Structure 1
Amino acid sequence: MFVKYVILMSMAVFGIMLYLHDYHLSSFSQLFTIYPQLHSTLIDLYGTVVFKWFDSGYSRVPRKSKDVLFTKEELQEYSESNKGLYLAILGKVYDVGKGEKFYASGGNYHFFTGRDGSRAFITGDFTDSGLTDDVTGLTVKELINLHEWAQYYHKEYKYKGKVIGRYYDDEGQPTSYYHQVKKLINKAKRTKEEQDKEKLSYPPCNAEWSLESGSRVWCSTRSGGIERDWIGVPRQLYDPGSHTYRCICIRENETDGPNKKGNIKEYPECNPKSTSCWVHS
Structure 2
Amino acid sequence: MNLRFVGNLVGRYYNSQGQQTKFLKGLEAKAARGAQLLEKQKIEEAKLPSCNSRWSQHEGGEVWCDVGYPRLVQRPLEIALTGKMSRKCACFKEEQLGQPGLEAYTGCAYLSKACPV
TM-score category by the smaller chain?
0.5 to 0.7
Residue 176 (structure 1) shift: 1.1
Whichever structure has more strand as a proportion of its residues is 2
Q: Distance in 1 between matches of 2:22 and 2:44?
A: 33
CA contact (8 A) 2:69 2:111 kept: no
Secondary structure of 1:171's counterpart equals coil
**How has the CA–CA distance of structure 1 residues 254 and 171 changed in structure 2, closer, same or farther, with 3 Å as cutoff?**
farther
Q: Distance in 2 between matches of 1:177 and 1:249?
A: 43
Q: Distance in 1 between matches of 2:24 and 2:38?
A: 21
2:33 is matched with 187
Residue 254 (structure 1) shift: 5.8
Structure 2, gaps ≥5 residues long: 77-85
Q: Distance in 2 between matches of 1:233 and 1:164?
A: 57
Q: Greater relative contact order (Cα 8 A, min sep 6): structure 1 or 2?
A: 2
Q: Distance in 2 between matches of 1:256 and 1:269?
A: 13
Q: Which has the greater radius of gyration?
A: 1
Secondary structure of 2:13's counterpart equals coil
**How has the CA–CA distance of structure 1 residues 173 and 203 changed in structure 2, closer, same or farther, with 3 Å as cutoff?**
farther
CA contact (8 A) 1:217 1:234 kept: no
2:109 is matched with 269
Residue 186 (structure 1) shift: 2.0
Residue 232 (structure 1) shift: 4.1
Q: Distance in 2 between matches of 1:172 and 1:254?
A: 59
Q: Distance in 2 between matches of 1:263 and 1:278?
A: 15
RMSD (Å), alpha carbons: 3.6
TM-score by length of 2: 0.57
Secondary structure of 1:174's counterpart equals coil
CA contact (8 A) 1:202 1:248 kept: yes
Secondary structure of 1:258's counterpart equals coil
1:206 is matched with 52
Q: Distance in 1 between matches of 2:21 and 2:70?
A: 48
Q: Distance in 1 between matches of 2:99 and 2:111?
A: 21
TM-score by length of 1: 0.29
- Give the paired residue count: 102
Residue 175 (structure 1) shift: 0.8
CA contact (8 A) 1:236 1:264 kept: yes
**How has the CA–CA distance of structure 1 residues 264 and 270 changed in structure 2, closer, same or farther, with 3 Å as cutoff?**
closer
Residue 178 (structure 1) shift: 1.2
1:114 is matched with none
